[in-house]
Chain A
Amino acid sequence: AQSVSQHNHHVILSEAASLELGCNYSYGGTVNLFWYVQYPGQHLQLLLKYFSGDPLVKGIKGFEAEFIKSKFSFNLRKPSVQWSDTAEYFCAVKGADSWGKLQFGAGTQVVVTP
């Protein structure tokens, strides 16, 4: 069965600090990987996605994620966060060979203090 684990439920950091959010998945096959973000009062938005090729993918707003197949990981990073990055971040996985459901992690609430 698919599963996604996000290591931190809550992260608090100051502006300009670096951010790294962990995501590990369990899936018996080739996967597509996603990070979604939910800003306060807004709907889920796609931050970035990995389908194939270069394991380092860049998304919107200066975010990037690295797919490490041997570790079943897809960690999200941003070198210098801003107050506007305060949001909840969700990692999700889907089998690459099928249409259908995304399996989400429980999410990480990130609070950036001025």
Chain B
Amino acid sequence: GQNIDQPTEMTATEGAIVQINCTYQTSGFNGLFWYQHHAGEAPTFLSYNVLDGLEEKGRFSSFLSRSKGYSYLLLKELQMKDSASYLCAVSDSNYQLIWGAGTKLIIKP
């Protein structure tokens, strides 16, 4: 079956760095997405990785290893507004999106 795993909840301190991991097992692979989701709002696209390596966008970076079925989202210089759920999603061979259950990130002062 197809499966995406990510931690349910993580806690970090304002100003620090946090890494949210995502492992996947899917039928084919056409890219991995990370979204930020504040409850009651539309999710926000953060990153897209289809090749191995690190993609950096400001305070956020995303890494992919296709051979390991593994990705992580790295958030630096954490701010209180970064408290949200972070969703990992993989596009399979049919371009169907397989969603992880999301990681709730709690930022403490």
The answer to whether A binds B is no
Chain A positions near chain B (C-beta within 8 angstroms): none
Chain B positions near chain A (C-beta within 8 angstroms): none
